[in-house]
Structures are given as structure tokens and as C-alpha cells.
Amino acid sequence: MEQGCFTALITPFNKAEELDRQGLEQLIDFQIQNGITGILATGTTGESPTFKWKEHDHVIALTAKQTKGNCLCIAGTGSNNTQEAIVGAGHAAEEGVDAILMVDPYYNGPSSLEIRKEYYEVVAKQYPDMDIIPYIIPGRTGAQMLPQDLAILSENCPNITSVKEATGNFDNMTLTRKYCGDNFNILSGDDALVYEMMTHPEINACGSISVMANIAPKSMARMVTLLNQGKKQEALKIQNALKPLLDLVVVTTQEDTKNYGPVTCRARNPLPLKTMMQVLGMPSGPCRKPLGKMTAKGFEIVLKTMKQVHADTPDIFKPIAGFFNVDIDERL
């Protein structure tokens, strides 16, 4: 995969939690018009854990068709079942996607060695012409392929030349660069760390698979481009303007249970993002259960932050206003 900014696209639903096809098509066009390098369909942000495989394949097919000739298309096809991952990869290959993203197997807890040998290598050798991007996010999976096994994997499988790095662990990132070499592509999977990962001399990430590019594709893509050009100061200005939004990937509040004291509530991606998109007048709809709605406190944090960003840097939401024909001032 080439360097750049890829949007981890949401999947818009209607009130019945069914796919909003027209909304999906609009969101893809919005991304293309704002210069994104590529689109990731059916990732975590796209709520793939809630999909039946027929839905999963349908969203990939629609996205692959619409992006063809306009931007790159990545399909999320990972699983905690290797045979299922093979089937998903096969469908993505049939649809002509440019790459697949495979998350480390979740819940059943394989070792790093098992993840490499019994999962990634099996799929990579089954589809040698398909670019495969391992997705390392132990905070969601409870398992992790370590940099040592990633390096062996990239040596054994020529179609694995990139990783989506979302460990949040800079020691892990530096080891990945050390073991995998200078020609291996590290893509940030954490919006808040993109700037640091791309400017760190021992990491040298070359791009991002971004959540907030759903609402700020032009700004995110510009920042990544500037960083790849070595224009750190120009990129830092964009990073500073975006930072309040980037910090909203997870929104943490203290909620009162009345009789049992306060509890910590963490609204995780894509819930804060979809909430913002609804406020801004973009196709989004609800999250599928078991994700629910933002609490009143959480919504207040989101709205306050959006107002601040719009007041400080109105150009960030300007592409939304033009494409979706909405008045941002009125909506905020």
C-alpha cells in the first residue's frame, strides 16, 4: 500500500439499523472530493462486528465499485476464525479491492506465534496477489502479534508490506521499524498520535487510517501530505487545530447510578463520531446495539468541542457545509 491518509469509513444506518445505501454513496463521494488517499470499508469504525457476512460483503462491494478509479479501497476482513477470514478475503478479492485489513484474532487469545503462523500466513499464502495489512490493536482484541513475528511475516509473505499500528505503545512502534526495516509501511491507527508517529525518527510512520477523516478528510489528508513532504511546522498547525476533535475518539464521563455511586462511562469509536456526524447533518444514523447513545454529559462534551473547533478554525467543517448543503453555524 502507498503512503497517505485513509478514512476508516462509518457505515450509515437508518432508524431501523439497516444500511443507508444512499448515505453510504454520499459519504464515499465526499471523501473522494476531499482528496483522501483511500477508504477502509467494514472496519471497527464501520461497525463490522455487528454485520452478518452477507451485509459485510455488500458494503465492500458497494465501496469497491464506487472508489474504483477514484481512490484506493481497503476492506476489513479479519476474524477470530481463520477459515472465516479466508472466505472474507476471497470475497474482497473478487470485488477488486486494493488491500484487505486483518485485525489480530480477538477473544480466543492466540499467541503471537499462532497469530502469525495459523492466521496471517494462511490467508496471505491463499491470496498471494492481495495486499494484506495486519491491524495490531490489543486494547480491543486482547491478543497481539509482536514486532518480531510481524518482521518474520513480512519476510515470508511479499504481499505484507504494511501494518496498521494502534497499540499506543511507542516501544512497540520503534521495534516494528527496527525489525521490519525502512521500506515497511507503518500506518497510524490512532488519530491523536499521527503527528508524533510520523515525525518520530525511530518510527517514521508514512500515513494514517483515520477515524476523524470522516468529518475532516481535507484537513487530515493535508496534514499527512505535509508530513510526508517533511513540512512539519505547516502540519503542526493543522494538528493543533484538529487536536480537540482527535481527542474525541473516546469520550469518558462519570455517570451517577443514584444508589450505587458514580461509574466511569467510556463512549468509544464510532459512537462519538456518529454523534458528531448527526449534529453536522451528515448521513450516519444510530450505532447498532450493543452500542447505544451518548449520555447527556458525553453529548455536552462533544458539542462544546465542535463549537470550539468551528469558532477557532471554521475551514475544518467548511467542506461539509458545501457538500451536504448545511449551515454549520445553525447546526451547532
Residues that are catalytic: 135, 164
Q: Grid coordinates in use for 115? A: 497469530
Are 75 and 97 a contacting pair, CB within 8 Å? Answer: yes
User: Smallest Cα–Cα separation from 177: which of 202, 201, 142?
Assistant: 202
CA pair distance 12, 83, nearest whole angstrom: 28
**Parallel, antiparallel or unpaired: strands 162-165 and 4-8:** unpaired
User: Which residues, other chains included, contact 282 with Cβ-Cβ below 8 Å and sequence gap of 6+?
Assistant: 27, 30, 215, 320, 324
Nine-digit cell string for 240: 493543533
Q: Is the peptide bond before 138 cis (omega within 30 degrees of 0)?
A: no
Local structure of 136: helix, strand or coil:
strand
**Residue 187, strand partner residues:** 164, 207
Question: Residue 88 to residues 1, 105, 121, 145: CA-CA distances in angstroms?
Answer: 19, 14, 15, 20
Handedness of CA 323, 329, 330, 332 (dihedral sign): positive
The residues facing 208 across adjacent strands are 5, 188
